[in-house]
Structure 1
Amino acid sequence: MLVLSLDTSTRVCSVALHQNGALLGCYELLTEKTHSSLLTTLIQDLVTHAGFSLGDLDQIAVAKGPGSYTGLRIGVSTAKGLCFSLDKPLVSVHTLEAMAAQLTPFYPSDYLLCPMIDARRMEVYCAFYQSGELRRETAAVIIDENSFSDLLDTNRIVFFGDGAAKCRETLGKHPNAIFPSTEVHPSARTVGQLVAAGKGATEDLASFEPFYLKEFIGTTPKNRL
């Protein structure tokens, strides 16, 4: 099974190629340039340098969001275009779930992982995971000194991602708040890992749209632990 994965949820433009769950290659660019000028070139170079053609792909996976509206549109439209032209299935993976998968092996199973994506001003997109399982649904949260107080009182929480700096300023002194020293970005590498593990959802090409979140949370109740 040869799977091409894309993640353009943030300013990182990331593509990865897995074969039967093994990583063959991953290209990532952290740049202010628009992803539309980079993504197709990265895809073609990665697949070619790995010794394949686009027609050899079995699946195409994409990080569906939340994240940058523009970035998500570019990633999803590129993935859908490839799937239409190559007649391949499209699999979507939640961006925050893929971020959490990067750190799950490095922390005890009773820790909560809170990946965060900057949503401008003091707002972040975030969710809570434990041992790879969702514990609190994705939400857009305005950060202040009382944010997540119900969880921090009883749990060790790892805050990471490009939105975590906002939390560090207000929650950094809390004994249960942990902030990794290395910044963690969304990556197509873990999108592909999750697909290889049987996670993700096969999407209908005609109707699939990115998960923008703000349109979503207005009609969905907030889950609690």
Structure 2
Amino acid sequence: MNYILNIETTTKNCSVSIAKEGKTLVCNEIAEEGYSHAERLHVFIEESIVAAGITFKDLVAIAVSQGPGSYTGLRIGVSAAKGLCFALGIPLIAVDTLQALAAKASVDSGLIVPMLDARRMEVYSAVFSTDLESKRAILAEVITEDSFQEFDETLYFVGDCAEKCKEVLTQPNFVFLEDIKYPSANQMSTLSYQKYLKEDFVDVAYFEPYYLKDFMITTSKK
């Protein structure tokens, strides 16, 4: 049986799933303001393995959400995934974070625009068809009233940016699905299995998260 462990830590949602041939068996997750990923992640992994009734030796691959997203969250998730792959001798799969977020939208027509907060009016965004094909490259962009004007289709916006963006993005073909805020390891299950079947793996030693923006360290003024 093809069991894959999926890890998603790019946002406030710390999420882990165990999937069998692309179907989620177990999903443990929690979204907290304090970013408790370092404390929660390994507990969730252990609990998910037990709940699925398998052992680590049953896993055929580890999948990790590759970004963009929180620098710290990405480092935590990728480090855990790499460590497990090295220990178990199994391949690493990198899943597009925004594609996994788009997969949470159940719509039959139009386009899906997953957006994640990148502070102020900047977001990480992409555009996907309803079958999750990329229709525009991933960008770190500042949202203005002119954003996404090139699309005539109905655009369904998902992610944690609705509150700050819906006052600016007011076109009649713009729809905010405000209940969908964070990507989840649950939606990673199908995406990671598709990559597993294609042997679409990344190098465990050299893989780096997709930060999209440089990590900035600020210091307080004295």
2:64 alignment counterpart: 62
Amino acid across the alignment from 2:69: G
Where do 1:64-213 residues align within 5 Å?
64-103=66-105, 106-109=106-109, 111-130=110-129, 131-151=131-151, 154-171=152-169, 173-198=170-195, 201-213=200-212
Amino acid across the alignment from 1:118: D
Where do 1:13-52 residues align within 5 Å?
13-31=14-32, 32-52=34-54
The worse-fitting range, judged by mean Cα deviation, of 203-212 and 187-196 is 187-196
Question: Aligned-pair distance for 1:115?
Answer: 0.2
Question: Aligned-pair distance for 1:76?
Answer: 0.4
Between the aligned partners of 1:140 and 1:155, the Cα distance in structure 2 is 22
Query: What SS class does the counterpart of residue 107 from structure 1 fall into?
Result: coil
Between the aligned partners of 1:13 and 1:122, the Cα distance in structure 2 is 24
CA contact (8 A) 1:143 1:166 kept: no
**Count of residues in correspondence between the two structures:** 209
Q: TM-score, normalised by structure 1?
A: 0.88
Between the aligned partners of 2:82 and 2:195, the Cα distance in structure 1 is 20
Between the aligned partners of 1:10 and 1:83, the Cα distance in structure 2 is 23
Q: Which runs of 5+ in 2 are unaligned?
A: 215-222
Deviations 1:95-115 (A, max 9, x none): 001111121xx2233x11000
Q: TM-score, normalised by structure 2?
A: 0.90
CA RMSD of aligned residues (A): 1.5
CA contact (8 A) 1:119 1:163 kept: no
1:9 alignment counterpart: 10
Amino acid across the alignment from 2:77: G
Q: Which has the higher helix share?
A: 1
Between the aligned partners of 2:86 and 2:58, the Cα distance in structure 1 is 15
The worse-fitting range, judged by mean Cα deviation, of 184-193 and 7-16 is 184-193
Extract structure 1 runs of 4+ deviating beyond 6 A.
Answer: none
Q: Which runs of 5+ in 1 are unaligned?
A: 216-225
The worse-fitting range, judged by mean Cα deviation, of 195-204 and 69-78 is 195-204
CA contact (8 A) 2:12 2:182 kept: no
